[in-house]
Amino acid sequence: RRHNYMSDEFTEKAIQLTRRGKFTESLDLLEKALSYNSGNVNALVTAGVRANLGQYHLAMKDFEEALLLDPECVNARKYLESTREQASKVRDISTITAEARRQEASREREADGVSAVPTGVSSAGLISKVRSSLASGDPEWSYVLDDDEGEEVQT
């Protein structure tokens, strides 16, 4: 009984902190609450505050664990779904952002006259092509480089 009381007390204080936007402090109290009673569904649902810190995977695990203990827990189910949606949006945005950065870098290389290495070309093959192009004076492969002292050298 004492363990349940302490777990509930820590959970209630964590809920108050969560409402004030103090998510990290809330999680500290929730860890204490769960150390007293690992089956405290309310603490597990509240621990889903991890989603507010971008820890979607951990938040979903908390909600899923709460649902294992209480399959009828409406808040756990509702928050699990909204966290899944949010995590999906973040993944989509990350994927789009990474692709946009890759395309931008490719455009910048092309604008600088540097094309991407074709698929299937080995490093050794590319180095050999660059060396022979430089030796022949091919301007496509002529760059300004820094020598060991940081001075620009025309190749």
Residues 97-143 pLDDT 10s? 777 677 777 777 777 765 555 555 444 555 555 555 555 554 444 44
Question: Any long-range contacts for 89-98 (C-beta under 8 Å, 24+ apart)?
Answer: 90/54, 90/56
Q: Which amino acid is at 97?
A: T
Residues 36-82 pLDDT 10s? 999 999 999 999 999 999 899 999 999 999 999 999 999 999 999 99
**Considering only 2-11, 58-67, 90-99, which range has the smallest mean pLDDT?**
90-99
Q: Which amino acid is at 22?
A: K
Return the sign of the alpha-carbon dihedral for residues 124, 127, 128, 129.
positive
| Nearest-angstrom CA–CA distance, 15 and 54 | 18
Q: Write down the pLDDT at residue 78.
A: 96
